Structure 1
Amino acid sequence: MDAESTTGSRAADADLVTAVAAGDQDAFAALYDRYCRQAYSLARRVCVDPEYAEEAVQEAFLAFWREPGRFDPDRGGFAGWLLTLVHHRSVDVVRRQAVHRKRNLLGGDEITAQALPAEPGADEKAMSRVVGGLVRKALGQLSADQRQVIALAYLGGYTQTEVSSITGLPLGTVKSRTFAGMKHLRSLLSTLSGGRRHENWMEVQ
């Protein structure tokens, strides 16, 4: 996507957001249709479970509908802002479900639970959840600007060029924020995990 088309897309989004703020449901539907796939793709990477991902996307769009004024066009494009919101909601959904599972386990039949056969790959899945939890916790400690570009690249799977198009930021800015954010993220992960290295978890294209 070239600079001219990116600027045009951002302007079109801004017009739709203004219409949404005035209560225009058609404008809201247009933005939903435009970004729901990207939003779901990002949410699925965070939540893994498709139902949780759908819940996170619905919560994000509902939050936007209720408070469209939270979007500040001076800080970047609507797509980047929305996907950052989707990321936050996805993390919230994962946390809620973890609490729910823990309560069910504590309130359930311990003998029955112990008698259930172990799910294939359970150890690997448990480790994956731990790793994902550490990454999400570390991401939450980054600055908002760094967190946005890294969440899109690491969790959303977008290239830096695509992140530039989505956020409306110059490619150089995306690269510098990614570099600084990844350096900080590695330091945070090293602290959170007792010094183990995690570069392979954070490959940015």
Structure 2
Amino acid sequence: MLDLMTAESNFDATSTAPPTKEELLSRVAQGDQAAFGELYDQVAPRVLGLVKRLLIDHAQSEEVTQEIFLEIWQTATRYEAGRGGASTWIMTMAHRRAVDRIRSSQAGRDRDTKIGIRDLAVAYDHVAETVEVRIEHERVEKAMSRLTQLQRQAVSLAYYGGYSHSEVADMLHIPLGTVKTRLRDGLIRLRDELGVTS
């Protein structure tokens, strides 16, 4: 009888373990709204933190975060566990959306400056914008490939993964100062590769 009770308590302990993000994402892909809610609760603060760090503006950050979760709901079937963790997939999506919003805002300001007035009736060339974004993405990828592996790792974790410098140091088991040095050197090299002037 005691063995049966022990077995039951062990079963309860294992059955109440929270599902992983990968499991939740798999259930979201099947249309499970409860799993989506649980996934949202687990990752929303980190997603909002990354987006806000890039956009600064809180209202825009909340709006972009909503767009990200809508995209997660709509594209969860595209997630492939063999190609990386759910957190990485989500944070990459979040980073891309935030950068798209920055580019879109900058492109809008540039157009307004060239025209001299804001004219909302003027047709917007989506094809040209898509091509520009793709070319810029390729330029960044090419520049990232020219970083050392250590610099690329640190930059990817901090800016694409949304991790703080301290978290990157813990993950890589290196001193915080080393992380900061790799990030500084990596960003300087990226700036030079992309021809960005400060």
TM-score interval, normalised by the smaller of the two chains = 0.5 to 0.7
Aligned residues: 151
Aligned with 1:188 (options 179, 183, 190):
190
Q: 1:140 to 1:65 in 2, by over 3 A?
A: farther
Alignment map for 1:5-44 (pairs within 5 Å):
12-44=20-52
Q: Relative contact order, CA 8 A, sep 6+: which one is greater?
A: 1
Q: 1:180 to 1:139 in 2, by over 3 A?
A: farther
Q: Distance in 1 between matches of 2:57 and 2:142?
A: 21
2:158–2:168 contact (8 Å) kept in structure 1:
no
Q: Distance in 2 between matches of 1:14 and 1:74?
A: 11
Q: Which has the larger radius of gyration?
A: 2
Task: Pick which of 98-107 and 53-62 moved more.
Answer: 98-107
Q: Distance in 1 between matches of 2:90 and 2:170?
A: 13
Q: What are the superposed Cα offsets for residues 119-159 of structure 1, whole Å, 9 maximum, x if unpaired?
A: xxxxxxxxxxxxxxxxxx7578425x845313157x65352
Instruction: Tell whether 2:164 aligns with 1:157.
Output: yes
Question: Which residue is equivalent to 2:122?
Answer: none
Q: Distance in 2 between matches of 1:139 and 1:50?
A: 28
2:158–2:164 contact (8 Å) kept in structure 1:
no
**How many Å apart are 1:44 and its aligned residue?**
0.7
Q: Distance in 2 between matches of 1:97 and 1:54?
A: 16
**How many Å apart are 1:19 and its aligned residue?**
0.7
1:20–1:27 contact (8 Å) kept in structure 2:
yes
Q: 1:193 to 1:103 in 2, by over 3 A?
A: closer
**How many Å apart are 1:64 and its aligned residue?**
1.4
Scaled by the length of structure 1, the TM-score of the pair is 0.58
Question: Which residue is equivalent to 1:86?
Answer: 94
Q: 1:77 to 1:187 in 2, by over 3 A?
A: same
**How many Å apart are 1:107 and its aligned residue?**
4.0
Instruction: Tell whether 2:78 aligns with 1:70.
Output: yes
Structure 2 unmatched runs, 5+? 1-16, 119-138, 146-151
What is the one-letter code of the residue matched to 2:83?
A: R
Structure 1 unmatched runs, 5+? 1-7, 110-136, 165-170, 197-205
Q: Percent identity?
A: 27
Question: Which residue is equivalent to 1:133?
Answer: none
Q: What are the superposed Cα offsets for residues 20-69 of structure 1, whole Å, 9 maximum, x if unpaired?
A: 01011111111111111111111011111112212221222122111113
Scaled by the length of structure 2, the TM-score of the pair is 0.59
